[in-house]
Amino acid sequence: MKDDRTPGFMEAIAQTGLLTEIWEHFPENMFLMRVEGPDFVVEAANPKMTEVVAQDCIGKRLHDFLPWSVAEATVGHYRDCLRQDKPLRYEEHAAFRDGHGEERAGHWLTLLVPVHDTNGAVSHVFGIAQDVTELRLACADLERYNQDLEAVVEVRTQALNEANRKLQEANTQLELLASRDSLTGVGNRRYFQAGAEREMERARRHGSALSLLMFDLDGFKQINDQDGHAAGDAVLQRVAASVQAELRTNDLFARYGGDEFVLLLPDTPLASARQMGDRLRNRVQAEAGVAISLGAAGYLAADNHLDTLVQRADAEVLSAKRGRKLG
Instruction: Give residue-wise pLDDT tens across range 53-68.
Output: 878 889 999 999 889 9
Whether 132 contacts 125, CB under 8 Å: no
Dihedral sign from CA coordinates of 130, 131, 134, 137 = positive
Using alpha carbons, select from 196, 190, 194 the residue that is nearest to residue 213: 196
Domain count, the chain: 3
- SS3 at position 288: helix
Q: Residue 116: its pLDDT value, please? A: 94
Write the pLDDT tens digit of every residue in 221-248: 999 989 999 999 999 999 999 999 999 9
Task: Considering only residues 160 and 6, tell me which one the structure prediction assigns the higher pLDDT.
Answer: 160
The question of whether 259 is a catalytic residue gets the answer yes
Q: Of these residues, 181, 216, 251, 259, which one is catalytic?
A: 259
Q: Which range has the top average pLDDT, 15-29, 136-150, 186-200? A: 186-200
Q: Residue 9: its pLDDT value, please? A: 58
Question: With pLDDT > 90 as the criterion, what percentage of the chain qualifies?
Answer: 60
Name 63's Cβ contacts closer than 8 Å, sequence gap at least 6. Answer: 39, 71, 72, 75
> Do 169 and 204 belong together in one domain?
no
Q: Residue 199: its pLDDT value, please? A: 95
Q: Is the pLDDT of residue 130 over 80?
A: yes
The separation between CA 103 and the C-alpha centre of its own chain, rounded to angstroms, equals 46
Alpha-carbon separation of residue 294 from 3, 51, 191, 263 (angstroms): 124, 106, 21, 11
Decide if 225 is inside a domain.
yes
Decide if 43 is inside a domain.
yes
- SS3 at position 139: helix
pLDDT bracket for residue 78 (50, 70, 90): very high
Give the whole-angstrom CA distance, residue 163 versus residue 161: 5
Domain extent for 153? 139-179
Q: Is the pLDDT of residue 294 over 70?
A: yes
Q: Residue 163: its pLDDT value, please? A: 85
Whether 296 contacts 270, CB under 8 Å: yes
> Do 87 and 13 belong together in one domain?
yes
Using alpha carbons, select from 77, 142, 87 the residue that is nearest to residue 108: 77
Please give the single-letter amino acid code of residue 237.
Answer: Q
Q: Residue 99: its pLDDT value, please? A: 76
Residues 154-163, mean pLDDT to the nearest whole number: 88
Decide if 40 is inside a domain.
yes
Give the whole-angstrom CA distance, residue 242 versus residue 284: 6
Q: Residue 296: its pLDDT value, please? A: 96
Decide if 228 is inside a domain.
yes
Please give the single-letter amino acid code of residue 92.
Answer: E
> Do 13 and 72 belong together in one domain?
yes
Over the chain, what is the mean pLDDT? 88
Decide if 315 is inside a domain.
yes
> Do 175 and 242 belong together in one domain?
no
